[in-house]
């Protein structure tokens, strides 16, 4: 079986370093925040090219804090896309605001700037581009809209560690940005984890307080906060793994390049676009095909594991029916939700495994 990703291979390669880092934390007796988390925060902020990073317990918590620190709350509207993991929308709702959806571009899978202005109302407070699958949205166009309408941009970079837009790293182009360290992410913890990055000292101070019960100092609670703290083991693990992220990213890009070479002549398959000026980090290698279920069954029979990211757009999820959207409202999103199929991609993937996946796809029955 060729897995969609192989976390055991990553652990095997780093076992001595990771084991030592975890044992150091266990021996320290300090298991929440502390020196390992602070060290990782500084390293990740430098990696993103920003001033501050606030480590938390999940990407969802990171988004939630970013909205609260931007003073987004009841009565406000936040523009984002329905083609994302549901956490993007849930975090907006946690803040008390209303999500407003805009369709995505067919090539980048990110929010379509040409459709954003039509969704802006006097209640609009922010735009949340989702850098889906590892490629950044059209940030120049979105920043121009935000400036013209007095809005803030909060990046959902939960799938875009190390991605770039004309030389700017994901996380460095908005008021703040949220990343997830869910184990399967390009930089994954050994459990849940997330982080918010920002260049604003005011935003940083607010978010640091909110993640730790709103404390200004111990037992002095100045805000209604949350228990969103990162545990020290995750901080220590992520600090080790961050040193390898660039190598892993280049390995993912090499896998993507080999897929492109091997699959470019399969007319029934549409390969993911890497747009000019953008560094795609391939959290997901999502191809498009009209016979997704047939191809998926065939690949499974050949021992190739695939994934679906995401088969039901958020505006068609039962849990969010109260937002008032329906089928047909976002045609590009709905087409992508029917057609995208995630092929295996991970840094340790071998050329032979990539060739096996490509050969299985190119079998006659699946080449129209």
Flag whether 36 is in a domain: yes
- Range(s) of the domain holding residue 75: 7-102+109-239
- Report the half-sphere exposure of 278 (CA within 13 A, side-chain side): 23
Residue (of 131, 94, 89) closest to 110 by Cα position: 131
* Residue 93 and residue 74 share a domain: yes
CATH code of the domain containing 197: 3.40.640.10
Active-site option among 15, 42, 125, 185:
185
Flag whether 126 is in a domain: yes
Flag whether 2 is in a domain: no
pLDDT for the residue 71: 97
Active site residue 185: yes
Q: Is the pTM of this model over 0.85?
A: yes
> pLDDT tens across 239-291, in order?
999 999 999 999 999 999 999 999 999 988 999 999 999 999 999 999 999 99
What is the C-alpha to C-alpha distance for residues 169 and 173, in angstroms, rounded to an integer?
Answer: 8
* Residue 171 and residue 300 share a domain: no
Flag whether 81 is in a domain: yes
pLDDT for the residue 368: 47
Q: Euclidean distance between the first and final Cα of the chain, in Å?
A: 25
* Residue 257 and residue 164 share a domain: no
Average pLDDT of the chain to the nearest whole number: 96
> pLDDT tens across 115-162, in order?
999 999 999 999 999 999 999 999 999 999 999 999 999 999 999 999
> pLDDT tens across 314-364, in order?
999 999 999 999 999 999 999 999 999 999 999 999 999 999 999 999 985
Last residue in a domain, options 213, 239, 265: 239
CATH code of the domain containing 286: 3.90.1150.10
Tell me which of 42 and 265 has the higher pLDDT: 42
* Residue 31 and residue 163 share a domain: yes
* Residue 131 and residue 218 share a domain: yes
pLDDT for the residue 363: 84
pLDDT for the residue 167: 96
Task: For residue 9, name the pLDDT band (cuts at 50, 70, 90).
Answer: very high
* Residue 342 and residue 201 share a domain: no
- Tell me how many domains the chain contains: 2
* Residue 63 and residue 16 share a domain: yes
pLDDT > 60? residue 59: yes
Nearest-10 Cα torsion for 194, 111, 124, 330: -120
Flag whether 1 is in a domain: no
* Residue 165 and residue 311 share a domain: no
pLDDT > 70? residue 298: yes
Flag whether 305 is in a domain: yes
* Residue 223 and residue 285 share a domain: no
* Residue 179 and residue 34 share a domain: yes
Flag whether 42 is in a domain: yes
* Residue 68 and residue 196 share a domain: yes
* Residue 174 and residue 60 share a domain: yes
pLDDT for the residue 90: 98
Last residue in a domain, options 239, 273, 300: 239
pLDDT for the residue 364: 56
Flag whether 139 is in a domain: yes
Last residue in a domain, options 217, 239, 261: 239
């Amino acid at each position: 079986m060729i897995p969609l990703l192989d976390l055991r291979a990553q652990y095997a390669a780093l076992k001595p370093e990771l084991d030592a880092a975890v044992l150091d934390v266990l021996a320290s007796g300090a298991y929440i925040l502390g020196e390992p988390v602070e060290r990782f925060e500084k390293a990740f902020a430098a990696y993103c090219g920003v001033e501050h990073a606030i480590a938390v317990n999940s990407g969802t918590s990171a988004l939630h804090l970013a909205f609260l620190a931007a003073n987004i709350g009841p009565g406000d509207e936040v523009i984002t896309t329905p083609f994302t993991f549901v956490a993007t929308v849930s975090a907006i709702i946690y803040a008390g605001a209303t999500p407003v959806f805009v369709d995505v571009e067919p090539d980048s899978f990110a929010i379509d700037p040409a459709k954003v202005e039509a969704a802006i109302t006097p209640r609009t407070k922010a735009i949340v581009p989702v850098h889906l699958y590892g490629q950044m949205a059209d940030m120049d166009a979105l920043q121009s809209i935000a400036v013209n309408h007095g809005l803030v941009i909060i990046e959902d970079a939960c799938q875009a560690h190390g991605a770039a837009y004309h030389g700017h790293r994901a996380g460095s182009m908005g008021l703040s940005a949220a990343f997830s360290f869910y184990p399967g992410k390009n930089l994954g913890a050994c459990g849940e984890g997330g982080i918010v990055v920002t260049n604003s000292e005011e935003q940083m101070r607010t978010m640091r307080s909110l993640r730790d019960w709103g404390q200004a100092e111990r037992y002095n609670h100045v805000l209604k906060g949350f228990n969103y703290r990162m545990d020290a083991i995750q901080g220590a693990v992520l600090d080790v793994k961050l040193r390898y992220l660039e190598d892993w990213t280049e390995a993912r890009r090499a896998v993507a390049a080999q897929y492109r070479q091997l699959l470019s002549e399969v007319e029934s398959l549409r390969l993911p676009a890497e747009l000019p000026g953008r560094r795609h980090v391939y959290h997901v290698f999502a191809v498009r095909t009209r016979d997704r279920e047939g191809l998926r069954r065939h690949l499974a029979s050949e021992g190739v594991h695939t994934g679906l990211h995401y088969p039901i757009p958020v505006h068609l999820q039962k849990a969010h029916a109260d937002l008032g959207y329906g089928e047909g409202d976002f045609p590009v999103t709905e087409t992508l939700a029917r057609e995208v199929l995630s092929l295996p991609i991970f840094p340790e993937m071998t050329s032979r495994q990539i060739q096996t996946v490509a050969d299985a796809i190119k079998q006659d029955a699946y080449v129209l």
